[in-house]
Structure 1
Amino acid sequence: MRIYIVALQNTFDTGLSTLLDTFSVANELAASSKALTTRFDVTIVGVRSRVTTSHGLSIPARRATGLAHPDIALVPAVGAKMPDTLSRLLDQREIVDAQSLLRHWFQRGTMLGAACTGTFILAEASLLNGHHATTSWWLAPFFRERYPQVVLDESRMIVHSSPFITAGAALAHLDLALWLVRHRSPALAALTARYLVIDSRPMQATFAIPDHLAHADPFVERFERWARRRLGDGFSLHDAARAVRTSPRTLTRRLHAVIGKSPLAYFQDLRVERAVHLLQTSNHSVDQIADRVGYASGATLRTLIQRKIGRGVRELRARA
């Protein structure tokens, strides 16, 4: 399998290294086993003759012009962590040229993948329109505003929407590489994960900070403050809208535009966040915690936690 990693100026060092190291480990393990025959031919390519990382390291990238099209092209993150710096970077000529190259490969059947802020480069090229995707959880409001035609689910670590594969923030580059290894050989992926000491982590929701997302919009921020004071009570959309001085329709529209959720769904996220905190910092029973965050039973809370963050109560308490 021919894989090109598209290295751009200001490439995120850890993201690039993680992709390279994961495929390298997989290749070494496959070579040492007669039962595993999968091989990943990985090349770092660029649209410029000189590429440096966000820490100023020089990358030995090959010029992509004239190379055979790859089976898979991956775009690692760039070293822009916040919307303003990322917005300026996306306007650079190198990014525009890279997007033309990605479109060219896509039209010839190449699978495209990206992680973290790399997903923005695919979206900026309109390649993800109509597809599901994920990206860095804290950039989700900016992503939704900029690319309304992409169906974003920042709660997930990996989203496969053929022929695209996208991954979440920073170290999700590892999850992206392992997904691709697993796609070719589940046995090799399992062995590689054991050597890299990485377990399954399907959700980014475990790491997201809800009030950080809320600060992207004044209506959402006011709703978040109102909701946190009432997590143990019932939810009323009309009461919420009155508290933030807007209409139920406007509140619903703003929350969906900024965080992709209804007011009730976001209210439930905040309940789960509070419940997880109590599980990890107190000795209260699950039933007691469920009552404090407004659920009728511990069984309901257990189900919601498993569904939203992909972990069980016992695992959460063991990690505390």
Structure 2
Amino acid sequence: MKLDVLALDGVFDTGLSTVLDVFTTANELAAMLQLDVPPFQATVVGVRKRVRTAQGLAVPIARAVGTAPADWLVVPALGCKMPETLEPALSRADVRDACTALRASSESARLAAACIGTFVLAEAGLLDHHKATTTWWLATMFRQRYPAVQLEDSRMLVSSGHRVTAGAALSHVDMALWLVRQVSPELATLVARYLIVDSRPSQSAYVISDHLSHSDPLVERFERWARGRLADGFSLDEAALAAGASKRTLARRMQQVLGKSPLSYVQDLRVERAVHLLKTSDKSLEQIAGMVGYADGVTLRTLLRQRLGRGVREMRLEA
């Protein structure tokens, strides 16, 4: 498999290195174990001859992006973690040139991106009308900037057509392992074991809900009101009154900012609170269920497993 890995100025060091390390490890293990798997030929490409990482390290660019055939064109993240640095980065000349090159290459190569790299694909218009995921704490910005993308930001990996996107930061590992798995599931499992990487299908266990809500005043007011009433039943009428908006406006704004309904967000807050109590208190699951608005521990246990998946393995979910 031929893979072009696009390095833009200020590329996220860990993302770029992780992607390359996964492919190198796959090649080493395939040779050592004499697996009948074609090698992964990963080439670092760019739109400028000189590129430095976010930490200031020089990146050797083998050739310009799109100048040779590749099976996959992989876009690691830029080292921008917040909107105030990401917005100007997306307007840079080299990023615009990269978007042009990506559009031209999308006719022949499949596309993969992780973390902030998903913004570059979206900026090029290559995720329009496709399902995708992105960095969880920038999901609000992504949703507002690229409304044509069908964002599923709770997921760690999303495959749609000839595109695959991955969530935050170390999801670069998940993305690279997914690419290895397309060639050999056995080899991907071996690489994951050697690198000690667990399966992480969801980002939900890592999301800090109030961080997301603070991007919009109306949503923040609703979040403050909801946090103070997690043990009570949910009323959309009361929520809208407390937030100072109509029910329709509140629901629309929640969908625009967080991609979910007011009730779904309250459930997220309840899960977040329950997880905190499970980790930091000696209260039973039944007691915690009552504290976060559920009638019994069975309902809470089911919700925790649905929303957090394997991330609940170390919690006290005994009956």
TM-score over 0.5 for the pair: yes
Distance 1:209 1:297 in 2: 25
Q: 1:317 offset after TM fit, Å?
A: 4.2
| In the alignment, structure 1 residue 202 sits paired with structure 2 residue 223 | no
- Listed one character per residue, the Cα deviations across residues 6-28 of structure 1 (whole Å, up to 9, x for unaligned) are 00001011100000111111110
Q: 1:36 offset after TM fit, Å?
A: 4.0
Q: 1:262 offset after TM fit, Å?
A: 0.3
Distance 2:137 2:224 in 1: 18
**One-letter amino acid of the structure 1 residue matched with residue 199 of structure 2:** S
> In structure 1, what is the equivalent of residue 190 of structure 2?
191
Distance 1:113 1:189 in 2: 17
Q: 2:112 is paired with a residue of what secondary structure?
A: strand
Cα distance change, pair 191–43 in 1 and its aligned pair in 2 (3 A): same
**One-letter amino acid of the structure 2 residue matched with residue 232 of structure 1:** A
> In structure 1, what is the equivalent of residue 176 of structure 2?
177
Q: 1:114 is paired with a residue of what secondary structure?
A: strand
| In the alignment, structure 1 residue 254 sits paired with structure 2 residue 256 | no
> In structure 2, what is the equivalent of residue 147 of structure 1?
146
Q: Structure 1: which 5+ residue stretches go unaligned?
A: none
Distance 1:51 1:303 in 2: 48
> In structure 2, what is the equivalent of residue 106 of structure 1?
106
Conservation of the 8 A alpha-carbon contact between 2:45 and 2:65: no
Q: 1:316 is paired with a residue of what secondary structure?
A: coil
Q: 1:8 is paired with a residue of what secondary structure?
A: coil
Q: 1:315 is paired with a residue of what secondary structure?
A: coil
Distance 1:313 1:73 in 2: 34
**One-letter amino acid of the structure 2 residue matched with residue 26 of structure 1:** A
Q: 1:9 is paired with a residue of what secondary structure?
A: coil
| In the alignment, structure 1 residue 264 sits paired with structure 2 residue 257 | no
Q: 1:155 offset after TM fit, Å?
A: 1.2
Q: 1:158 offset after TM fit, Å?
A: 0.9
Cα distance change, pair 138–312 in 1 and its aligned pair in 2 (3 A): closer
> In structure 2, what is the equivalent of residue 13 of structure 1?
13
**One-letter amino acid of the structure 2 residue matched with residue 58 of structure 1:** A
Q: 2:113 is paired with a residue of what secondary structure?
A: strand
| In the alignment, structure 1 residue 82 sits paired with structure 2 residue 82 | yes
Cα distance change, pair 6–288 in 1 and its aligned pair in 2 (3 A): same
Q: 2:314 is paired with a residue of what secondary structure?
A: helix
Distance 1:147 1:178 in 2: 27
Distance 2:316 2:302 in 1: 16
RMSD: 1.3
* Mean CA deviation greater in 152-161 or 264-273: 152-161
Q: 2:206 is paired with a residue of what secondary structure?
A: coil
Conservation of the 8 A alpha-carbon contact between 1:302 and 1:313: no
- Listed one character per residue, the Cα deviations across residues 262-281 of structure 1 (whole Å, up to 9, x for unaligned) are 00000000001111111111
Q: 1:301 offset after TM fit, Å?
A: 1.1
> In structure 1, what is the equivalent of residue 290 of structure 2?
291
**One-letter amino acid of the structure 2 residue matched with residue 53 of structure 1:** T
Conservation of the 8 A alpha-carbon contact between 1:48 and 1:63: no
1:239-250 matches, within 5 Å, as: 239-250=238-249
- Listed one character per residue, the Cα deviations across residues 157-177 of structure 1 (whole Å, up to 9, x for unaligned) are 111112111111111111110
Q: 1:34 offset after TM fit, Å?
A: 2.5
Distance 1:158 1:231 in 2: 31
Distance 2:77 2:315 in 1: 29
Q: 1:251 offset after TM fit, Å?
A: 0.3
Distance 2:311 2:66 in 1: 50
- Listed one character per residue, the Cα deviations across residues 122-163 of structure 1 (whole Å, up to 9, x for unaligned) are 001111011111111110111111001111122111111121
Distance 1:255 1:25 in 2: 43
Distance 2:290 2:50 in 1: 59
Conservation of the 8 A alpha-carbon contact between 1:38 and 1:185: no
**One-letter amino acid of the structure 1 residue matched with residue 89 of structure 2:** L
**One-letter amino acid of the structure 2 residue matched with residue 46 of structure 1:** G
Distance 1:91 1:66 in 2: 21
Q: 1:112 is paired with a residue of what secondary structure?
A: strand
Q: 1:107 is paired with a residue of what secondary structure?
A: coil
> In structure 2, what is the equivalent of residue 23 of structure 1?
23
Distance 2:300 2:311 in 1: 10
* Identical-pair percentage: 58
**One-letter amino acid of the structure 1 residue matched with residue 293 of structure 2:** G
If the length of structure 2 is used for normalisation, what is the TM-score? Answer: 0.96
Q: Structure 2: which 5+ residue stretches go unaligned?
A: none
| In the alignment, structure 1 residue 55 sits paired with structure 2 residue 55 | yes
**One-letter amino acid of the structure 2 residue matched with residue 97 of structure 1:** D
> In structure 2, what is the equivalent of residue 3 of structure 1?
3
If the length of structure 1 is used for normalisation, what is the TM-score? Answer: 0.96
Q: 1:219 is paired with a residue of what secondary structure?
A: helix
- Listed one character per residue, the Cα deviations across residues 64-86 of structure 1 (whole Å, up to 9, x for unaligned) are 25632210011100011111211
